[in-house]
């Protein structure tokens, strides 16, 4: 295994270009991602959750990923364990296990992409709401300052 150690990095969103030897942990999406530890350059995604992968954080800051990572969809077909930031070669896996991993990986990636794509819509509507609120507040302010009755009352209060 080319990469023998991996260090966790907590991110809000996965970077477009990942670095080797870094396990990106996106807690908001329960997702980890890293460059395949064999050094082939492929991006590997592991979803955290029941019946998926389990990420264990140690008090010293190291992490472990259970079960092992099997990259059967890639040419390298590498299979390894991540234990306390160490990458341990795990040897070959059965054909059935390979198929299960492949299917799970596809679903996870699709879900992640869908959730990322859903964000701009939310952001757009929030901006629209913010702009509307700002406009409304400025109109209200103008009415207040131009209203003669209101001005007189304010002067009266000051005296």
Residues within the interface to Zn ion (CB under 5 A): 36, 38, 40, 76, 78
Nearer to Zn ion, 20 or 110 (CB): 20
Sign (positive or negative) of CA dihedral 52, 119, 43, 17: negative
CA-based nearest residue to 27, from 3, 4, 1, 57: 57
Of 36 and 65, which has the nearer Cβ to Zn ion?
Answer: 36
Pairing, β 54-57 against β 86-89: unpaired
Residue (17 or 155) nearer to Zn ion, CB: 17
Give min distance, CB of 38 to Zn ion, in A: 3
**Rounded distance between C-alpha atoms, residue 106 and residue 25, angstroms:** 18
- Nearest approach, Cβ of residue 44 and Zn ion (Å): 8
Whichever of 68 and 78 has its CB closer to Zn ion, that residue is 78
Contact yes or no for 54/82 (Cβ under 8 A): no
In this complex, which beta carbon is closest to Zn ion, that of residue 31 or of residue 36?
A: 36
Is residue 33 within 8 Å of 24, Cβ to Cβ?
yes
Burial of 76 (0-12, 13-18, 19+ CB in 10 A): middle
Asked whether 72 and 5 are in contact (CB, 8 A), the reply is no
């Amino acid at each position: 295994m080319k990469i023998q150690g991996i260090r966790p990095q907590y991110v809000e969103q996965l970077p477009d270009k990942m670095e080797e030897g870094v396990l990106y942990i996106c807690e908001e999406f329960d997702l980890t991602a890293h460059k395949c530890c064999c050094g082939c350059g492929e991006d590997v995604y592991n979803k955290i959750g029941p019946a998926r992968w389990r990420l264990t954080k140690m008090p010293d800051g190291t992490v472990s990923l259970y079960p092992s990572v099997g990259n059967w969809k890639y040419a390298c077909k590498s299979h390894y364990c991540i234990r306390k930031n160490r990458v341990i070669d795990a040897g070959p896996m059965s054909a059935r296990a390979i198929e299960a991993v492949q299917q799970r990986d596809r679903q996870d990636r699709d879900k992640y992409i869908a959730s990322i794509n859903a964000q701009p819509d939310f952001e757009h509507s929030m901006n629209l709401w913010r702009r509307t609120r700002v406009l409304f507040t400025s109109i209200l302010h103008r009415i207040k300052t131009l209203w003669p009755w209101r001005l007189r009352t304010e002067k009266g209060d000051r005296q």
